[in-house]
């Protein structure tokens, strides 16, 4: 790659780079939290999307309302590799506090746009740096100093559009769809974009990475996982939501509240076919869900780490008393408060065994925004069919960042509310025993409070109970009920979504991913293939594990379980479940709060394989 000279205000070399990469680059924008850079970044992202080129955006934000550093990364990749990558091609450095580090992290051949006034570090000559006087450019456009702060970021939108070759028209359209209703804001922002664009055209050479029109995003949508989950719940027929605010789950509840308000409240009467309550804490949130679900609502809550920990006692209750409940855990980095705005898959073990005593829970692992939508519905069906809590283990990366997807399909099936006996059915079946395993699958039948039938009523409790829901301290009965619950957990293996397997014909090595880890897998496998390592892949979608998971493990000599936590938590669950296959399980772990990238996977798998050779 050609070494480019430093360019300062007005003296950039305008010659085009000698080697140009098309539709494959990473743009990194460093700004100050609360400075209104979201609109700028979203405009760039959307414009690229509208050019038909696959794109993803990741927001790296602080646990702060305003003033601390924040970053936004846009990855463009026409082959659809949209996970995070560790290196950036273009940097926009708007934050004086982090600029030195941000710039220092840029490698050879990269381009940096830096706001004028930010001191520049000494740099090797193969990094291009463009100093752009953003403030000066925006001044004539926005006379009001306070407002100016919010518009100044649009300057770099124009600059980047020029550098990468993003269509000005698409920028304009993207801006329009975002600010459509605010005419004045739209005009100011437009003017600022143009000022940036013009400045760049005049002073700066295009970057060695460029974007060209394709038609790979036709008909597609851009959406965040939490919004998708909210949509799933909406179409899944949710009737009750209780929640307590906590990042990164709040946006799920808030999106859902918005949709419900709009689509499930009669505009004439004002009557709603749902209720959503902000509880006083997460103990109350899950308590309300259990009460509502017991009484027949489709009830859910969404939370994250600390809130999830607080739900522990009630989750154990729901397991034992067999009450359906849908709990979205949008995982963030723990332990404790941890890094509340960083992503993680660190809650697996505490979720799987949440609460004292012999409990094991059903977990789902959405790996895409489509999954969020689908599980938004299916989690209800599953919880009601199994009469147990279903924990949907999403994470910040999936929940709060936008992804591309095919538009979601309208559900063609009705809901499945599981084994509920109506009064008419009670008349037919004659005897009703709340906790009897009538069908041999461990799942009993239930009635709904308020049913008039004299046999319908039963007593729900977290203490020892027999098949007829009566209090008992009998050892045999206790053990019998626990055995049935274990049987029900076995049934869950087949009711929950099975894995998605891509087996390479002669591969000895398997990779196993789940949740947002999956995003980097295609890319990682491609690179491994380039390095001569064919791999099979299993995308895990639920715990307890489907029998196909076992078959996959059995068919590989080694399986690398890729996960975003320190303690190899998924590997632990697999080892527990399949001790005979435990020795073939390896781990690829990533736990710094940043989304995992393909290179990390490739490096660690190759390292593991080298060790394997040495060991043999």
Ligand X SMILES: Cc1ncc(C[n+]2csc(CCOP(=O)(O)OP(=O)(O)O)c2C)c(N)n1
The β-bridge partners of 69 are 32
CA-closest candidate to residue 488, choices 444, 458, 445: 444
Pair of tokens at residue 325: 């409940």
Which residues ranging from 258 to 277 are in contact with other proteins (CB under 8 A)? 258-259, 262-266, 270-275, 277
482 near a second copy, judged by CB under 8 A: yes
Say whether residue 341 binds a second copy (CB under 8 A): yes
Residue 6 binds which entry of ligand X, other proteins, a second copy, none, CB below 5-8 Å type-dependent: none
Residue 305's binding partner among ligand X, a second copy, other proteins, none (Cβ under 5 to 8 angstroms by kind) is: a second copy
* Shortest reach from residue 335's CB to a second copy, in Å: 4
- In the range 9-38, which residues lie near other proteins by CB under 8 A? 34
Binding positions for a second copy, 1-20, rule CB under 8 A: none
- Residue closer to other proteins by CB (options 154, 299) is 299
Q: Is residue 426 within the footprint of other proteins (CB under 8 A)?
A: no
Write out the binding residues for ligand X, residues 337-356 only, by CB under 6 A: 337
Q: Which is nearer to ligand X, 246 or 549 (CB)?
A: 246
> Interface with a second copy includes 463 (CB under 8 A)?
yes
- With CB under 5 to 8 Å by kind, the binding choice for 258 among other proteins, ligand X, a second copy, none is other proteins
Collapsing DSSP states into helix, strand and coil, what is residue 589? strand
301 binds a second copy (CB under 8 A): no
> Is residue 508 within the footprint of other proteins (CB under 8 A)?
no
Q: Which residues in 349-408 contact other proteins (CB under 8 A)?
A: 407-408
Residues 241-260 that bind ligand X (CB under 6 A): 244-246
Taking the C-alpha atoms of residue 380 and residue 142, their distance in angstroms, rounded to an integer, is 51
Encoding tokens for residue 89?
Answer: 């091609």
Applying CB under 6 A, the span of 107-115, 240-248, 533-541, 603-611 interacting with ligand X comes to 240-248
Answer with the entry of a second copy, ligand X, other proteins, none that 454 interacts with (C-beta below 5 to 8 A by kind).
other proteins
Q: Which stretch binds a second copy (CB under 8 A): 3-11, 105-113, 121-129, 577-585?
A: 577-585
Tokens of residue 72, six digits: 């936004």
Residue with tokens 């027929």: 237
Whole-number Cα distances in Å, 523 to 45, 177, 367, 509, 601: 21, 32, 15, 16, 10
Apex 462 CA angle, 459 and 465, nearest 5: 60
Judge whether 99 and 108 are in contact, CB under 8 Å.
Answer: no
By the 8 A CB rule, do 443 and 419 touch?
yes
DSSP β-bridge partners for residue 500 = 539
Partner whose footprint covers residue 273, from a second copy, other proteins, ligand X, none (CB < 5 to 8 Å by kind): other proteins
Closest to a second copy by CB, 67 vs 335, is: 335
- How far out from the chain centre does Cα 199 lie? 38
Considering the complex, what minimum distance in angstroms separates the CB of residue 13 from a second copy?
35
**Residue closer to other proteins, measured from CB, 410 or 440:** 410
Closest to 587 in 3D by CA, of 614, 567, 611: 567
- Distance CA(478)–CA(483), nearest Å, equals 9
SS3 of residue 23 by DSSP: coil
Token pair of 423, please?
A: 């009064």
**Alpha-carbon gap, residue 54 to 564, rounded angstroms:** 25
Q: Are 545 and 572 in contact (CB under 8 A)?
A: no
Q: Strand 128-132 and strand 111-115: pairing?
A: parallel
Does 461 participate in binding a second copy (rule CB under 8 A)? yes
Contact between 329 and ligand X by CB under 6 A: the answer reads: no
Q: Specify the DSSP class assigned to residue 584.
A: G
Task: Please state the separation of Cα 603 from the chain's center in Å.
Answer: 24
Determine whether 614 is exposed, middle or buried from the number of CB atoms within 10 Å of its CB (0-12, 13-18, 19+).
Answer: exposed
Q: Which does 473 bind (CB under 5 to 8 A by kind): other proteins, ligand X, a second copy, none?
A: a second copy
Count the Cβ atoms, other than its own, within 10 Å of residue 494. Answer: 11
- Is 310 among the residues that bind ligand X (CB under 6 A)? yes
Output DSSP code: residue 109: T
Quick one: which of 236, 376, 499, 595 contacts other proteins (CB under 8 A)? 236
208, 236, 296, 307: which one binds ligand X (CB under 6 A): 307
Q: Does 335 bind ligand X (CB under 6 A)?
A: no
Site string for ligand X, 42-81 (x = CB under 6 A): ----------------------------------------
Contact of residue 237 among ligand X, a second copy, other proteins, none (CB under 5-8 Å per partner type) = other proteins
Of 302 and 562, the one with the shorter C-beta distance to ligand X is 302
Q: By CB under 8 A, name the one of 1, 2, 14, 479 that touches a second copy.
A: 479
d(CA 175, CA 546): 46
303 phi and psi, to 5 degrees? -155, -175
Taking CB under 8 A as the rule, does residue 335 contact a second copy?
Answer: yes
Contact letters (x/-) for other proteins, 443-482, by CB under 8 A? Answer: -----xxxxxxx-xxxxxxxx------xx-----------
- Report d(CA 307, CA 318) in Å as an integer: 17
Choose among other proteins, ligand X, a second copy, none what residue 171 binds, the Cβ cut-off being 5 to 8 Å by kind: none
Q: Where are the alpha helices (DSSP H) in 540-587?
A: 547-555, 569-577
DSSP-assigned letter for residue 420 = B
**Is residue 334 a contact residue for ligand X (CB under 6 A)?**
no
Write out the binding residues for a second copy, residues 47-66 only, by CB under 8 A. 62-63
Binding site for ligand X (CB under 6 A): 244-246, 282, 306-307, 310, 337
């Amino acid at each position: 790659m050609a070494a480019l000279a430093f360019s300062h205000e007005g003296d950039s070399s305008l010659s085009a780079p000698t080697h140009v990469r098309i539709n494959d680059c990473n743009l990194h924008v460093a700004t100050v939290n609360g400075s209104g850079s979201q609109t700028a970044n979203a405009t760039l992202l959307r414009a690229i999307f509208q050019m038909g080129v696959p794109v993803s955006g990741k927001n790296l934000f602080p646990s702060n309302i305003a003033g601390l550093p924040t970053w936004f990364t846009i990855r463009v990749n026409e082959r659809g590799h949209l996970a995070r990558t560790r290196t950036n091609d273009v940097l926009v450095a708007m934050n004086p506090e982090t600029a030195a580090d941000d710039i220092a992290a840029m490698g050879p051949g990269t381009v940096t746009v830096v706001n004028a006034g930010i001191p520049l570090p000494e740099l090797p000559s193969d990094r291009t740096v463009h100093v752009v006087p953003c403030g000066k450019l925006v001044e004539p456009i926005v006379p009001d100093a306070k407002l100016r702060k919010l518009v100044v970021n649009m300057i770099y939108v124009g600059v980047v559009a020029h550098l990468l070759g993003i269509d000005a028209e698409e920028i304009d359209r993207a801006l329009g769809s975002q600010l459509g209703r605010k005419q004045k804001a739209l005009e100011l922002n437009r003017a600022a974009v143009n000022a940036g664009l013009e400045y760049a055209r005049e002073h700066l050479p295009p970057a060695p990475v460029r974007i060209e029109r394709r038609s790979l995003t036709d008909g597609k949508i851009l959406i965040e996982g939490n919004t998708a989950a909210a949509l799933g719940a909406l179409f899944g027929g949710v009737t009750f939501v209780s929640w307590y605010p906590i990042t990164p789950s709040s946006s799920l509840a808030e999106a859902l509240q918005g949709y419900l308000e709009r689509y499930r409240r009669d505009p004439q009467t004002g009557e709603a076919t749902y209720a959503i309550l902000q509880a006083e804490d997460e103990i109350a949130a899950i308590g309300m869900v259990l009460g509502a679900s017991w009484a027949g609502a489709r009830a859910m809550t969404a939370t994250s780490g600390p809130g999830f920990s607080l739900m522990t006692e009630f989750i154990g209750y729901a397991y034992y008393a067999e009450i359906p409940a849908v709990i979205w855990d949008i995982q963030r980095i723990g332990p404790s408060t941890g890094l509340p705005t960083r992503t993680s898959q660190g809650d697996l073990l505490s979720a799987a065994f949440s609460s004292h005593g012999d409990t094991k829970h059903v977990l789902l692992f959405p790996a895409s925004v489509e999954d969020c939508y689908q599980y938004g519905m299916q989690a209800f069906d599953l919880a009601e069919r199994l009469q147990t809590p279903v924990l949907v283990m999403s994470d910040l990366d999936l929940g709060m960042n936008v992804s591309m997807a095919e538009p979601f399909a309208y559900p063609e099936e009705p809901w499945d509310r599981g084994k509920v006996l109506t009064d008419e059915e009670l008349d037919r079946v004659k005897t009703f025993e709340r906790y009897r395993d009538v069908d041999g699958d461990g799942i009993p039948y239930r009635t709904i409070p308020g049913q008039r039938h004299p046999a319908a009523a039963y007593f729900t409790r977290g203490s020892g109970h027999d098949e007829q829901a009566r209090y008992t301290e009998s050892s045999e009965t206790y053990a019998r009920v626990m055995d049935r619950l274990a049987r029900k957990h076995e049934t869950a293996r087949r009711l929950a979504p099975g894995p998605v397997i891509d087996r390479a014909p002669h591969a000895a090595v398997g990779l196993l991913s789940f949740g947002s880890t999956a995003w980097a897998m295609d890319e990682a496998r491609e690179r491994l293939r380039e390095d001569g390592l064919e791999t099979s892949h299993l995308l895990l979608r639920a715990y307890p594990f489907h029998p196909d998971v076992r078959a996959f493990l059995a068919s590989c000599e080694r399986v690398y379980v890729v996960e975003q936590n320190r303690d190899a938590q998924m590997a632990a669950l697999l080892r527990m479940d399949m001790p005979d296959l435990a020795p073939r399980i390896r781990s690829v772990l990533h736990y710094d709060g940043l989304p995992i990238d393909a290179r990390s996977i490739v490096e660690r798998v190759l390292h593991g394989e080298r060790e394997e050779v040495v060991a043999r």
